[in-house]
Amino acid sequence: MIKQDDPLWYKDAVFYEVYVRAFHDSNADGHGDLPGLTAKLDYIQNLGFDCIWLLPIYPSPLKDDGYDIADYYNIHPDYGTLEDFEILTKEAHQRGIRIIADLVLNHTSNQHPWFQSARKSRSSKYRDYYVWSDTNRKYKDARIIFIDTETSNWTWDDTAGQYYWHRFYSSQPDLNFNNPAVQEEMFNVMKFWLDLGIDGFRVDAVPYLFEREGTICENLPETHDYLKRLRKFIDTNYPGRVLLCEANQWPEDVRPYFGDGDEFHIGFHFPIMPRIFMAIRKSDISDVKNIMARTPEIPSNCQWCTFLRNHDELTLEMVTEEERQWMWQEYAPESRMRLNLGIRRRLAPLLDGDQRKIELANSILFSLIGTPIIYYGDEIGMGDNIWLEDRAGVRTPMQWENSPDVGFSHADPKKFYLPVINDPIFGYEHINVKDQQNCPSSLLNQIKKMIAVHKAYRAFGRGDFSWVDVDNDAIAAYYRTYQDEKILVIQNLSATSQAIAFPLDTIHQPIDILNQKKLHLTNKPPFSLNLAGYEYLWLKI
């Protein structure tokens, strides 16, 4: 069962991001579903994950893979029923795993009955649920997010005889948070799922809730006021449940989303992510150092959430123009790899399918700061398919086994919602769960080890962080300390071996906690250490 005794459980946790459609299909229709996920909970438990984040599971015309919600109170028929959801939650809880799901506040689908009613009549009670205008010239300072598809944040609606506002696809009209009725609707939505047993929400696209002329319509004070009310609602009625903030912003702009510990419990740290990729490609940790220096302290009951990849393009919004060009050139040399301001590729192909680099990236993820999230499939190094539409190429069926149906479904693979990855490097013959489970040195088993060790030491989730100066930018070395725990992480970002010197007191009787053995120090103090290319060490001092 989940332990209820620690209200700060999320600080030491490891999260797993699951796209239900991709995970496991229980009824042979070619689409993953909730019972399929339930059937695979042992796998998730065995890896050591504490919490699953489900991408949207609600009825939707799927113009944005479910982020366009047509009914907040039900399950998409491809995924099953509300009862299936209850079973999933119950089964997960029995295994000590929590479940959170996306809460999409900012917009609905244009197929949502609210929008359908709103567009048909100015006197509909739902008209004011959305943001309408006679001109498309308002809020000109708001940027366009899906730049490859949308040319404006306004779209003309013939039926309505007005423009409506949308920050994402034009099929996703923004809700009008000035309207108290909209604000109340979302409390009802939260209550519904919390009563069903959900453990919290990943709250989607929070910076954009309100619009104000003369601003960029992001991170407005009204937004924070409203979010604080959501938090209060949770604390009062559902203590122990969490809110995870999706604000793709600079650290100083995410900081207010933690409030005084009274807004979000957890917030994604977006800008660290591309800098981990920069560091590995450049064999130089400086960019990560700079963004860490720019990362403010957060209240003690809050936590950063870090990730390497997710279900979206690898976003390059939180880098300079020059850095973005560099990232594209290095990691997305073909134009098809680029999408909006990002890169539509998965972790393993980005890192050349090189297990040493993939492990290294994960070592940084698991030891740097905050609560790590792994995107399904990245634990086995799944590949991508850049030729699929939009972000579908990083959302393909989970590769369980070496067979044409990859153990994902009993349907004919031709009927799968997307084709499985079948290229010479990342195809299911080479990359699948079963083979990696049977191989002690596989990526899967290395990640399992990192999860276990991350969870065994509170220093990782709660400890202080300080860099160790080793006078070599190819080495990322830092201490994580919590009470009497002191952990020294040393990672070689380069392909060549590096020798580094450590002061005696630092390297006193270190234990390699990933491999459970004493570090062999051959020479006399001052100790020096030789790290092989891309080697990483987590040492308990």
CB of 312 to ligand GLC, least distance (A): 5
- State which of positions 70-109 bind ligand GLC (CB under 6 A): 104
Q: Which is nearer to ligand GLC, 226 or 479 (CB)?
A: 226
Burial class (CB in 10 A: 0-12, 13-18, 19+), 455: middle
Q: Spell out, one character per residue from 308 to 347, where the chain touches ligand GLC: x when CB under 6 A holds, - when not.
A: ---xx-----------------------------------
CB of 7 to ligand GLC, least distance (A): 27
Query: Helices (H), strands (E): how many in the chain?
Result: 16, 22
CB of 269 to ligand GLC, least distance (A): 15
* Sequence letter at residue 448: K
Of 10, 19, 67, 139, the residue at the interface with ligand GLC (CB under 6 A) is 67
Euclidean distance between the first and the last CA atom of the chain, given in angstroms as a whole number: 33
Burial class (CB in 10 A: 0-12, 13-18, 19+), 509: exposed
The string of DSSP letters for 188-238 reads HHHHHHHHHT--EEEEETGGGS---TTS-SSS-HHHHHHHHHHHHHHHHHS
Please say whether the beta carbons of 536 and 491 come within 8 A.
Answer: yes
Among this protein's residues, is 17 annotated catalytic? no
Which of 204, 287, 359, 390 is catalytic? The answer is 204
Q: Which is nearer to ligand GLC, 67 or 408 (CB)?
A: 67
Of 115, 165, 168, 258, the residue at the interface with ligand GLC (CB under 6 A) is 168
Q: Which residue has the tokens 């609707």?
A: 185
Burial class (CB in 10 A: 0-12, 13-18, 19+), 252: exposed
CB of 271 to ligand GLC, least distance (A): 15
CB of 305 to ligand GLC, least distance (A): 13
- CA 254 to chain CA centroid, Å, is 15
Distance, in Å, from the CA atom of 386 to the CA atom of 390, rounded to the nearest integer, reads 9
If DSSP states are collapsed to H, E and C, what string results for 276-327?
Answer: HHHHHHHCCCHHHHHHHHCCCCCCCCCEEEEECCCCCCEECCCCCHHHHHHH
Q: Which is nearer to ligand GLC, 114 or 479 (CB)?
A: 114
Q: Which residue has the tokens 């993820």?
A: 365
Q: Which is nearer to ligand GLC, 40 or 166 (CB)?
A: 166
Q: Which is nearer to ligand GLC, 17 or 405 (CB)?
A: 17
64 lies in the binding site for ligand GLC (CB under 6 A): yes
| Binding-residue total with ligand GLC (CB under 6 A) | 8
* Sequence letter at residue 529: L
- Position of minimal CB gap to ligand GLC: 67
Which pairs count as long-range contacts for 37-44, CB under 8 Å and 24+ apart, including other chains? 37/88, 38/84, 38/87, 38/88, 38/91, 38/92, 41/88, 41/91, 41/92, 41/95, 41/97, 42/95, 43/433, 44/16, 44/95, 44/97
DSSP state of 414: G
Distance, in Å, from the CA atom of 56 to the CA atom of 201, rounded to the nearest integer, reads 11
Name 253's Cβ contacts closer than 8 Å, sequence gap at least 6.
207, 218, 219, 247
CB of 1 to ligand GLC, least distance (A): 31
Which tokens is 93 given?
């809880």
Among this protein's residues, is 204 annotated catalytic? yes
Coil/strand/helix, residue 479: strand
Coil/strand/helix, residue 165: strand
379 lies in the binding site for ligand GLC (CB under 6 A): no
Q: Which is nearer to ligand GLC, 12 or 312 (CB)?
A: 312
- State which of positions 271-310 bind ligand GLC (CB under 6 A): none
Q: Which is nearer to ligand GLC, 64 or 78 (CB)?
A: 64
- State which of positions 241-260 bind ligand GLC (CB under 6 A): none
Task: Name the helix (H) or strand (E) containing 448.
Answer: helix 443-456
Q: Which is nearer to ligand GLC, 139 or 538 (CB)?
A: 139
CB of 64 to ligand GLC, least distance (A): 5
Which of 33, 246, 359, 535 is catalytic? The answer is 246
Q: Spell out, one character per residue from 196 to 225, where the chain touches ligand GLC: x when CB under 6 A holds, - when not.
A: --------xx--------------------
CB of 388 to ligand GLC, least distance (A): 15
Burial class (CB in 10 A: 0-12, 13-18, 19+), 469: exposed
Distance, in Å, from the CA atom of 100 to the CA atom of 199, rounded to the nearest integer, reads 5
Which CA distances in Å does 253 have to 8, 249, 294, 454? 23, 6, 11, 28
Q: Which is nearer to ligand GLC, 315 or 385 (CB)?
A: 315
CB of 487 to ligand GLC, least distance (A): 32
CB of 202 to ligand GLC, least distance (A): 9
Distance, in Å, from the CA atom of 329 to the CA atom of 351, rounded to the nearest integer, reads 14
Q: Which is nearer to ligand GLC, 105 or 490 (CB)?
A: 105
268 lies in the binding site for ligand GLC (CB under 6 A): no
Q: Which residues are catalytic?
A: 204, 246
Which positions lie near ligand GLC, rule CB under 6 A? 64, 67, 104, 168, 204-205, 311-312
